[in-house]
Copies of this chain bind each other. A is one copy, B any other.
Amino acid sequence: MTHRSEISVETRGEGDLIDLTSEVTDFVRSTGITDGTCHIFVGGSTAAITTIEYEPGLLNDFPSMLEKLAPRELDYEHNKRWGDGNGFSHVRASIIGPDITVPIARGAVVLGTWQQPVLVECDNRTRRRVVYLTAMGE
């Protein structure tokens, strides 16, 4: 069985983390799949998907680490060519990656108690994102 769904998400730009738990949980339940996987993917090259404990401290700490890893104000070649100032966004998104997959067991998504699937907005402006969910299994 394969089931797909698309979620539209509004973000507030760099460092915004969007909790996708309820959307993913509801979608998987609606498919009737008891054992399998649910793939979570964001279209675009300046956002990423991972899991995190969704609490206010880490909503600051994770973007802070990304700022140290790839500072906003470096001289990116991307910025010189395109003038959009979001070279930092691209390299951050590429190292985190655009997708994760979560298991489905006994009819529900498997996640740790403090482990939430999130969209990580890396771009330097508000964006509308489409997140693609694909559940497969039996």
Give me the interface of A with B, judged by CB distance under 8 Å.
Answer: 1-2, 4, 35-37, 39, 41, 43-45, 50-53, 55-58, 60-62, 65, 68-70, 76-82, 87, 90-91, 93-105, 110-112, 114-116, 132, 134, 136-138
A84 CB → nearest B CB, Å:
11
Residues from chain B with Cβ under 8 Å of A37 in the complex: 39, 134, 136
- Contacts beyond the supplied A37-B39, A61-B77: 11 A-B pairs with Cβ under 8 Å: A44-B114, A45-B114, A45-B116, A51-B94, A52-B90, A61-B78, A62-B94, A69-B95, A98-B115, A99-B100, A136-B137
CA distance A123 to B114 in the complex (A): 13
Residues from chain B with Cβ under 8 Å of A114 in the complex: 44-45
Number of copies: 3
Q: Which of the residues B4, B45, B100, B110 comes within 8 Å of A52, measured between beta carbons?
A: B45
Which secondary structure characterizes the binding site on chain A?
mixed
CA distance A82 to B55 in the complex (A): 10
Instruction: With A36-B2, A37-B134, A136-B137 as known contacts, state yes or no: A82 contacts B110, CB within 8 Å.
Output: no
